[in-house]
Amino acid sequence: MWRRSLQLRVVTTTTVLTIVVIAVLGNVLLTRVRDGLLDDKVQAALTEAASGSSTAQESFNSADRASGEADYDTLARDIVFRLSSAGGPAGVNDVALLPAVGISKAGASFGATSREMDLVMISESLRTRV
């Protein structure tokens, strides 16, 4: 039947080629959309992190000027609460505010985290880079 029917061969070949083209184009489009969404999400997260970092630094700077004996633990918890509840285009935030590497003053805060985050989750290499 396949050799005798030109119409069957044309219809079958056209259908198979159409399915292949649609599958390839669909895969390309899905990949581009996925990559674009991921890039946008990463950029939003980086922007929010930079904004949060500058907000935290401004809060600590103003506390330094206002009073030399400011309660940094309370201030750190307030900053973490504000930043973690802000949420934005990048989604819900988990925030960890830790002292800089090498800071070990007596009475210095050990930092604050949102949602009882375990500090073990933050690697030493990430702490050093940030």
pLDDT by 10s per residue, the chain, length 130: 878 899 999 999 999 999 999 999 999 999 999 999 999 988 888 888 888 888 888 887 787 655 554 467 778 888 888 888 776 665 677 888 877 766 655 445 566 777 777 777 788 887 777 7
Give the pLDDT of residue 64. 60
Distance CA 74, CA 79 (A): 9
Give the pLDDT of residue 60. 78
Tell which residue, 96, 124, 118, has the closest CA to residue 109.
96
Give the pLDDT of residue 6. 93
What phi-psi label fits residue 58: left (phi over 0), alpha (psi between -120 and 50 degrees) or beta? alpha
**N residues, the chain:** 130
Give the pLDDT of residue 113. 78
pTM, two decimals, is 0.59
Instruction: Spell out the residues 6+ positions from residue 34 whose beta carbon is closer than 8 angstroms to its own.
Output: none
